[in-house]
Amino acid sequence: MEQLTKSEIVDILKDDSQNEQLFAKADEIRRKYVGDEVHLRGLIEFSNICKRTCKYCGLRAENKNIDRYRISVEDIVLYAEKASEMGYKTIVLQSGEDEFFSRDLICKIVSEIKKFDVAVTLSIGERSFDDYKAFKDAGADRYLIRIETTDSELYKKMHPYMDFDNRIKCLKNIKSLGYEVGTGCLVGLPEQTIESLADDILFFKALDADMVGIGPFIAHPDTPLKDSDNGSFTLALKVMALTRIMLPDINIPATTAMETLNPNGRIIALQSGANVVMPNVTSKEFRAKYEIYPNKICINENPVQCRGCIESKIKSIGRTVAKDYGFHKKVV
Ligand code: 5AD
Ligand code: FES
């Protein structure tokens, strides 16, 4: 397994003359370590209510220009059931940091969904150790919480009232409880340096992450960063490819944000190191309202359309859709 130093990573990120070789190498390593199967995770965006004020995110509490919703427990479970009938073997439950969904409520949702013979991933933000423990005991298998950036100064600027050390603590707690841990970062935040992106990759490695999601920053008009430039698709793809090279056997999603910046973004990502896609299985009425960033894809489609669309795209590049749960199989 090839391991790069920070300065080697920085050099690769700064030099665009070898990008195609980098993507080809990440694709080769993906094939060797995790194969040609693509894991589909059915994503349910069940609440866009959030108590946080992340500067980049359209769901931030201070955004008044957004139609807030919460899906009922019954409907969340119903979407999960339908997704499992469509063939999904993992359900990802994502929301803003919405305290209405108490420990007991999340446990109830998880245990109901586990009856459908699926793996369950939670992506609901920072919670206490005891909450994380209760969710795990209720059957949750994985937890996603991006570090967003490992530059602690930038982290502070981007996340008012939040604490970088607590984020790290959450990741450690999740890991110690035996979850598969998903993390990741944004690429192209204002003032973010190439050096800090190299640190992000080394952080994923040090954490021994099971899954890493990387996406470009996309400026949302109803946030303080509305006048900032979007992140670069190519740079995000390079960070993702380097993550594959450094952590060869993990799961790496082709993120939706990539496709927002490039009409073929997820397929390009699947050919540059990614092996996972997370199609939306929430009904159409909520999709546009879960506006983390503008121009999100699939807001006019329904779950059946997205399943068909992504399956045919995957097949068109000679890959197959996996039928198992898609846990991280450690090889290295
Ligand atoms: N552009 C791109 N990605 C964003 N996220 C939040 N806001 C934006 C944005 N404006 C990402 C964060 C979060 C994930 C759910 O969405 O990285 O962890
Ligand atoms: Fe939703 Fe293609 S995945 S339309």
Q: Domains, the chain, ranges and CATH? A: 6-321 (3.20.20.70)
Q: Could you tell me which residues come within 8 angstroms of residue 292 by beta carbon, excluding any fewer than 6 positions away?
A: 57, 58, 59, 220
Pair 24, 30: CB distance under 8 Å? no
Which pLDDT band holds residue 25 (cuts at 50, 70, 90)? Answer: very high
pLDDT at 1 > cutoff 90 = no
The answer to whether 136 and 103 are in contact (CB under 8 A) is no
Quick: pLDDT tens for 59-75. Answer: 999 999 999 999 999 99
> What CA–CA distance (Å, rounded) separates 212 from 39?
14
> What pLDDT is attached to residue 242?
98
Ligand 2 atom at minimal distance to the Cα of residue 310: 3
- Per-residue DSSP letter, 114: G
Ligand 1 centroid to 253 CA: how many Å? 14
Whole-prediction pTM: 0.98
- Number of other residues whose CB lies within 10 A of the CB of residue 250: 27
Nearest ligand, measured from the Cα of 306: 2
pLDDT band with cut points at 50, 70 and 90 for residue 332: confident
Neighbours of 229 (CB within 10 A): 10
Task: State the closest ligand 1 atom to the C-alpha of 56, by its place in the atom list counted from 1.
Answer: 10
Mean pLDDT score, 68-94: 98
Q: Which of 43, 304, 309, 315 to mutate to test the pocket of ligand 2 (most atoms within 8 A of CB)?
A: 309
Q: What is the atom index within ligand 2 of the atom nearest the CA of 277?
A: 3
Is residue 141 scored above 90 in pLDDT? yes
| Digit-coded pLDDT (tens) for 189-226 | 999 999 999 999 999 999 999 999 999 999 999 999 99
Close Cβ partners of 201 (under 8 Å, ≥ 6 residues apart): 9, 239, 242, 243, 246
Tens digits of residue pLDDT in 165-176: 999 999 999 999
